[in-house]
Chains A and B, each alone.
Chain A
């Protein structure tokens, strides 16, 4: 059974760096050819994809947030860590991590991935 759980601070001050951890079980991020993604949702608003890290350490970042985001994995701890620098009140949101598995194949561009199992999310407020 695959599970994921997000953890981190609930309140962060503007301009600070936010660090969130996704602890997972039920799969391996070294050998299972899967990924872990981060998605956020401001209160009452839509979902926004942030980043994905794959089993082979390949990473994809949202172009609009790329300069502020870093994602790493610690396979010994079954964790993925997201850091976001220089936070602002607009970054207030529930942050989800999600297991990303293959959802199709294209001969030209390879496998496609979708977020099939999600953590419960963690609410982060940015305020002074």
Chain B
């Protein structure tokens, strides 16, 4: 099974900050990596798939990069709606989620 490790687990930031979340895989995913945003009490929302392709309607301040075993999600300028928990998902071999990164107010 492929294991996914996200870091950090929690991130404190302010509106306007540039934020980066990392996801590491236990084996190569090539580019089969997606990112989700989850607001408390709501279903996850697809942000990015295939490492860097934005999902439908996702703002351009979100971007993804990486390949192989290390991937990053970057929010270029954090907005109030972006305080949420973010999950990576590998789909190279069945599916495995990371443990999540909570972005909270500093």
- A103-B49, A114-B49 known; A46+B91 contact, CB < 8 A: no
Judge whether A60 and B97 touch: CB under 8 Å: no
- Interface size class on chain A is 20 to 34
- A49-B96, A60-B94, A114-B91 known; A104+B32 contact, CB < 8 A: yes
Report which A residues bind B (CB closer than 8 A).
37, 39, 46-49, 52, 60, 62-63, 96, 103-104, 106, 112-121
- A103-B49, A119-B43 known; A46+B1 contact, CB < 8 A: no
- A60-B94, A62-B94, A103-B91 known; A114+B43 contact, CB < 8 A: no
- Secondary structure of the B contact surface, majority rule: loop
Distance in angstroms from B12 CB to nearest chain A CB is 19
Judge whether A118 and B97 touch: CB under 8 Å: no
